[in-house]
Amino acid sequence: MLLTKLVFMLRGIFSNWKIPIAFNFVRDGIKTFHLKKILKEPIAAIFKSGFILRCTVSDQGSANVAAINSLIADTREDILRSGNDDPNIFHYMIDKKKLYHMYDVPHLLKCFRNNFQKNDLLIGTQRAQWNYIEMVYASDGAQGRARTTKLTDKHIKPNIYDKMKKNDLLIGTQRAQWNYIEMVYASDGAQGRARTTKLTDKHIKPNTYDKMKKNDLLIGTQRAQWNYIEMVYASDGAQGRARTTKLTDKHIKPNTYDKMKKNDLLIGTQRAQWNYIEMVYASDGAQGRARTTKLTDKHIKPNSYDKMKERKATMKSGLINSMSQVKAL
């Protein structure tokens, strides 16, 4: 069961002030008729205190939209009963006072962006398409020129992870929010219990290093790319000089073996996992049969000693190469 907060806030139109006036705790979502009842109480109190209320504002959550549409339908029905057959009614009445509802502008912009990615926009006789924006973005900043806009890859092709961190993701009739995942992750493994998922801090709050390996990093009007780091790393320590950083080849270009030990490997539609290799290795050579592979325990579960031996061997080969270069000079 998930507990969320429903907060009502009063703010000025021409002056910059905000006053929280009511809050409710909601478990596992809220029903439309409950939200209608909760909404009427603070609005009636606002009118009674002498404030002039012009409109209400909310995001486009399904419960919010349904409650407002129901209030407008009730108002339209009351007006039709009074003899007025005007169908153009977009307000609702509380305590015999007219109110209009507006949806939050950031949510409207996100909905427009998502719809525009799927459908063309007709303006008079002109047709606007999302692929025009993608074409301009692809050519912007080409050949080393500075970008003329602040757009990034996440604006043009946001993935599910990026969308979910900013707005809700609707799965069937259930609404998932990113903060629910953060709450579950924070409580998972608490009090010394074993974790039930393979999520790490890098999945929940990836740092700049993790993000930059997949996307460019925009700093002001300057664009940083991963290949710049690869070029600097390749030239660092050249001609026998000592390296200025602690980076290794595994940081710059980790192989499939290194990646697969931490993450699953997706091949087409098939998912390979490291525990499959461990299971095959455990059953290989069982019951006195000869092993079919040359894998050993050190390959499957290398300890710190084995890793240190490999690191020393790498350093030794690097030192031999440096000495040979010095002798050549």
Cβ-based neighbour number of residue 43 at 10 Å: 21
pLDDT confidence of 108, banded at 50, 70, 90?
confident
Tell me whether residue 308 is in a domain.
Answer: yes
Residue 281 reports pLDDT greater than 90: no
Please give, one letter per residue, the 3-state secondary structure of 124-153.
CCEEECHHHHHHHHHHCCHHHCCCCCCCCH
Closest CA to 101 of 66, 147, 136: 66
Task: Report the mean per-residue pLDDT for the chain.
Answer: 75
Quick one: DSSP state of residue 119? S
Q: Do 78 and 166 fall into the same domain?
A: no
Q: Are 203 and 264 within 8 A, CB to CB? A: no
The larger pLDDT score, comparing residue 131 to residue 166, is at 131
Alpha-carbon 292 to chain mean position: 44
Statement: residue 190 has pLDDT above 90 = no
Of the candidate ranges 62-66, 152-156, 298-302, 312-316, the one whose mean pLDDT is the lowest: 312-316
277 and 326 housed in the same domain: no
Residue 283 to residue 62: CA distance in whole angstroms: 52
Find the DSSP H helices in 168-295: 178-187, 201-204, 208-212, 226-235, 249-252, 256-260, 274-283
96 with 167, same domain: the answer is no
pLDDT for the residue numbered 162: 60
- Count how many domains the chain has: 4
**113: nearest Cα among 156, 171, 159, 58:** 156
Q: Is residue 230 part of a domain?
A: no
Q: Which of 185, 213, 241 is the last residue of a domain?
A: 213
pLDDT in tens, 27-57: 777 888 889 988 998 999 999 999 889 999 9
Check: CB of residue 52 under 8 Å from CB of residue 43: no
pLDDT at 269 > cutoff 80? no
pLDDT-derived band at 66 (thresholds 50, 70, 90) equals very high
Asked if residue 74 and residue 21 are part of one domain, the reply reads yes
Q: Is residue 219 part of a domain?
A: no
pLDDT at 69: 92
Confidence of residue 174 (pLDDT cuts 50, 70, 90): low
- What DSSP line would sit under 257-286, residue for residue? HHHHTTS-EEETTEEE-HHHHHHHHHHTTG
* More confident position, 109 or 265: 109
Whether residue 314 is found in the same domain as residue 289: no
Last residue in a domain, options 195, 213, 231: 213
291 in the same domain as 310: no
pLDDT of residue 43: 92
Give me the domain span that covers residue 284.
Answer: 255-295
pLDDT at 57: 93
**CA–CA distance, 210 with 203 (Å, rounded to integer):** 10
Predicted local distance difference test score (pLDDT) of residue 173: 46
Domain boundary among 103, 118, 151: 103
What pLDDT score was predicted for residue 267?
Answer: 60
User: Residue 20 has which token pair?
Assistant: 């929280």
Same domain, 51 and 9: yes
Res 259: pLDDT = 58
Helix axes 62-81, 32-49, angle to 10 degrees: 70
pLDDT at 209 over 80: no
Question: Does the predicted model carry a pTM greater than 0.75?
Answer: no
Least confident of 60-69, 117-126, 197-206, 303-312: 303-312
Same domain, 63 and 81: yes
**Residues 89 and 157 both lie in one domain:** no
Q: How high is the pLDDT of residue 288?
A: 75
Tokens 């525990």 appear where?
Answer: 275
290 and 315 belong to one structural domain: no
Tally of helices (H runs) and strands (E runs) in the chain: 15, 13
For residues 8 and 97, membership in a common domain is answered with: yes
Over range 81-103, report the average pLDDT: 84
Residue 277 lies in a domain: yes
Give 322's contacts (C-beta < 8 A, 6+ positions apart): 240
Residue 31 belongs to a domain: yes
290 domain-assigned = yes
Residue 9: predicted pLDDT: 92
C-alpha pair distances (Å), 163 with each of 111, 152, 160, 167: 11, 14, 5, 6
Asked whether residue 265 carries a pLDDT value surpassing 50, the answer given is yes
Please give the pLDDT value at position 71: 92
Q: Does 39 share its domain with 92?
A: yes
